[in-house]
Structure 1
Amino acid sequence: MKKLLITLITFQVTFSFAQDPLTPCQQAQLNASGLIGEFVPNCQEDGSYVSTQCWASAEYCWCVDEDGEEIPGTSILSWQGMPDCSSNSDACTLIPDPGMCEAAIQKYYFNQETQQCEDFSWGGCGGVVPFESLAECEAAACSQSSNDCCINAEWINPTAMCPFIWDPVSGCDGIEYANSCVAQAAGLSSWTNQSGSETTLNWDCEPQSDSTSCEAYFEWGGGNPYLVFSNLSNYSEIDPENINLLWDFGNGYTTFSENPVYTYDSAGYYEVCLTISVDDTQNNQTCISTYCDFISYMVPGTTWDCGPWGCYNPGTGMGQYTSIDICEATCNITPAICTSTSGIEISSLGFWENPNDPCDTGECTADGQFLEIVIDCEQEMGIPCEGEWMDVEGQCCSVCVPSNNSYCDSISLNPILPLGATWGPSVLEVNVETYFSNYSIPYAGLMLIDNSGDTIAIETISTAGNVYGIFPNMSETRELLIVNELVLPFTGELCIVEGLFAGITNIVCSYPVIWQNMELDEIQIKPRLLRMIDILGRDVKIHQSGQFLFYIYDDGTVEKKYTY
């Protein structure tokens, strides 16, 4: 038997698969050491850099370009929100910040108040740099070509002391702000919070479009014997010098009057057309619109009379003039003596008031002058209102409607006055105690004003130990910074201002005070409530409706109260 020798030869084949190289962002993630506080970039699924990068340990975020390089001027503290890296549209509203470094590098920003690109010195690190160069700022076209009544340049306050609170709101300009105080300091007229509640500040502003629009329209009435035409056209231009009117009555007669009165010589059907032409001198545009209507005139007219609106056909055949030309040559319409500030023509002497605007008043003099009467309203003068300003129909000024803040009786404010010859470090201390259990005044602070309404002392971010408000059953000492000279004897009010540290300020409680000769002679504040007891002598914490209670105060007085 033969032996079969079998040799097994084994081949080893190695397959090599080429792998895609790592992107710079992925490589940076791979090179991370894993140490606590180390910055590790965020990458997209395709390996590119996420446009917004954040460093958690340093508590700030910034925008990067496609190479992962930081875009100057986009860094922002994380508690202030996230930078908008999708576009540079908000660069126009960024407030420049030189940062913590001490270099002096020329950078640019857009000044919302002057509507111009201006330079500032950047320190070289951090901060906010809206634009790298003047050319970049001018190319952004930040100047507001139209007024959408969103940002009021006079309200912009870059030095506003806003609290470090993350309560984001969305502004009318589409930008998210850290809280309502930051939005208000940016000059915004309205914003919406996270719950959808909108806050709107009063501003006498009419939105203006970029281009002029117009639409001719009129209505007519009468016919026995004269027709009265009313111009009801719509146009965006408000300057009367740029608005031209042309009436065509269909019989060859035309006029440029605003609201003409006309009588036809014979009965018939006439097509009346009104053409308006509005010139936009800023945009070098002209808007033209025509509106026509057919009129059936059935009253014959052969003679003319002179009336308050000019010549007309009385329809009786007994008029003073045989033709309209003769009538117009002798009929003198009462001319306007003067023109009001709002552009209304006035044909009588003496006091005049606009029936549609009670603030538009004055005196028309014999020499054609209109002496405007300026009405000083308390709200515009800054007079405090313990309540809410309300508009009243037929009155020029808003009136202060006091608020029924019954919880003010459960708040005790006790100023601490020194007995020496000086006031010390220009700080007034006030002890605050509350005796309610189901209410709070958000972001409230204290303010001392004199009889003229001038602020004498006020809480600030630097002096306030509590900026979040006045809460139930609290007892603490507040410090008010004296900002104006305190002259004794002094008479004024100590006020609780809701929203002093965030939001819209509103005086909700005020307490009259009288100080004489560096001593507290009298503080006209109600005595401090010590206890509330029922008719059986039991202590009660909350005064319910329909309950009869005894109020015991620290001055020994007892008051009987019944709540309906």
Structure 2
Amino acid sequence: MITNKHTDTHCITSGNKLFYAAVTGRDHSQIVTMGRIGSQHTIRVQSSNSKTGCCLKFFVTILAITVIVLVGVIIWLIYRAPTASDGSAYLFQSGPSTASGGFIEDAVCKLPKDVGPCRGALLRYYFNYETKRCDEFIYGGCKGNANNFQTILECQELCMKPATKIAKTDVCKLPQDVGPCKAMIPRFAYDDNLKACVPFTYGGCQGNGNNFETKEQCEAQCMAFDSYILSLSAFRTFILYFSALTDNACKQPIKVGPCLALIPRYGFDPTVGKCVQFMYGGCEQNENNFETLEACQEICQAAKAEETDVCKLPQDVGPCKARIQRITYDDTIKACVPFTYGGCQGNGNNFETKEECEKKCVATAAKAEETDVCKLPQDVGPCRAMFPRFAYDDTMKACVPFIYGGCQGNGNNFETKEECEKKCVAKASTTEETDVCKLPQYVGPCRARIQRFAYDANLKACVPFTYGGCQGNGNNFETKEQCEAKCMGSLPCEFFGPTVTFDDVDDPCKQPIEVGPCFALIPRYAFNQRAAKCISFNYGGCQGNNNNFETLEAYQQTCSILKISCISKAVPAKQNVQGKGLPERCTLPLSKGPCNMHWRRYAYSFQDNTCRLFIYGGCQGNENNFATREECERECVRSSPYHFLLISN
């Protein structure tokens, strides 16, 4: 039995898991109890005269055990390194280790390349112990081993001795490598010939270390100049840099590449002596590939090409199949004309706007004569598009519509009639009105069905016809008003017609109300003789008689008249006169025609010198047929030399 002189606990660990307790006996020995609760061990230890000695020996023992355990854990982690959620090994992912030539270097850097069982495609680096260099590989994304680095620098820092480490410029001297995969990932690579970081499209797997996510990363890695380069004079650097670029870039052909991206780029075309735009496919470029026109011109165009060099080039659609509307200068007609650009290659005679083309190619000192373009024949071009355009017909001396195919053609091609007339119709000598108006009606070879108007010289009237949509001639008007203004404004007033006695003119207000045989329900006004007042009724839409008014005001102007007298200096009232002074069409009877359309038209009534609404069938009929009441009155009522005096009660 042990008799305690006193009890003194010197060292206790956290909680009740692991503890140390010592009791000093009379013989200066200590009874030591240590371990876990429930499995503690009691031993007698010969005490030194110092109370702190027990704790020191205890901690040395614990430290030795801890070191052994940690070494075992490290060895286990090396040979079976768990991975983080992003696929990178837990060990050494925070940065390069400072150990070299020691245990960790030997344990990690001698491990074989291990892709792992997963199917990811992560670009990583490992140390190839046979070649003594860091190589890239595609990591599957899980498991593997610790010989797995995110960057080549991490691999070099850990596994390569200072004498054998690869300098930064070694990566930058690697060729651009898209890799075998088909992704389209924008990346940057350092071009050792251009001494610049250039964009390229990375396929997504394999490739090499000359592959940077941003231009800044590439420049930070590869474009840091050594002190001896910085010491060069600015002039010498300029000469070396630009001569290298010019020799290697500007003499190379423009290369689209096999990929299918459509990235606008600029390259120097030696055939035209200037930088031109092209559509870069996104991979396998060469040095003749610039992001901006200014960058290309700064490097390749020591002296800009003459204006005529580009403008004399032929129109070039290029091999691609896009349909981009552009403008090109036609040197034969001395004008900028539209064409459809395929989207790639072509040449410098390719402008986005007509203004840009004219600014570039039309010499201000000697512009082309207006008649040069205007005398060209109408040219649809070989393409199959359907663009409505206008061309000047020199035989008719007028701008006529046509359908442009969308490519080639010539300069006699205008988007609007106003533009065509401004360019081609000479202000000094306007064309005779009868030139166009005497042309025959011409539908043209196309199959469209466009409602137009043409002047009929036999009928002395503008008649509707169906235009095919292309070619044709100048006797082609969009509206009846345009046709009449052009062809009927200067016709001589012809006097003809039947003998009319004005006393015999029927009063429309004395006619019975007629609905007509058609089934429309058109609100109208008429005079009811029995009621002796104006009433409203529903007009059927066709036939009927003159006791039919669209508005109450029109009725009041007509049916308040009790007497119509003809006043003329040459002809006294109530005298039989010849109905001369009216155009022939105004003397024709109202004719609906045999067709069954229901078109609202107006016809002139010779008996009461007014224009009346009627329903036109859509074909044949005669020229006493007007689209609006105003046209009818302007043509027929105002043309009469007789003025009717309205006498009311």
Q: Which has the higher helix share?
A: 2
Output the TM-score relative to the length of structure 2.
0.18
User: Considering only CA atoms, is the larger Rg found in Structure 1 or Structure 2?
Assistant: 2
Q: Which has the higher contact order (CA 8 A, sep 6+)?
A: 1
Normalising to structure 1: TM-score of the pair? 0.20
Name the structure where strand makes up a greater proportion of residues: 1
